[in-house]
């Protein structure tokens, strides 16, 4: 593990221990851990919270700009 990877791992551990993030599960295709943020992140890491909030807002605005999408759902193997 290189220095950058160790730094990221230590940050994630710190955020978990501070209850700023929670393990949500694992990505089935990559095996990577999926995290969810909590309101506590705003206190523990305000810059990270602001960056994530800005990214979320940008993604939501992009989806709105794309307009409605048609989705088909398959229920009970029908």
pTM for the predicted model, two decimal places? 0.69
Q: How many domains does the chain have?
A: 1
74 belongs to a structural domain: no
Q: What is the pLDDT of residues 28-63, one digit of tens each?
A: 999 999 999 999 999 999 999 999 999 999 999 998
CA distance 51 to 37: 12
What is the 3-class SS of 28-54, one letter each residue?
CCCCCEEEEECCCHHHHCHHHHHHHHH
Band of residue 71 on the pLDDT scale cut at 50, 70, 90:
low
User: Could you tell me the residue range of the domain that residue 19 belongs to?
Assistant: 3-66
75 belongs to a structural domain: no
């Amino acid at each position: 593990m290189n220095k950058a990877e160790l730094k990221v791992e230590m940050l994630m551990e710190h955020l978990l221990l501070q209850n700023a993030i929670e393990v949500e599960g694992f990505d089935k295709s990559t095996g990577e851990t999926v995290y969810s943020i909590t309101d506590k992140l705003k206190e523990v890491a305000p810059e990270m919270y602001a960056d994530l909030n800005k990214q979320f807002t940008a993604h939501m605005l992009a989806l709105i700009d794309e307009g409605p999408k048609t989705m088909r759902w398959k229920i009970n193997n029908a």
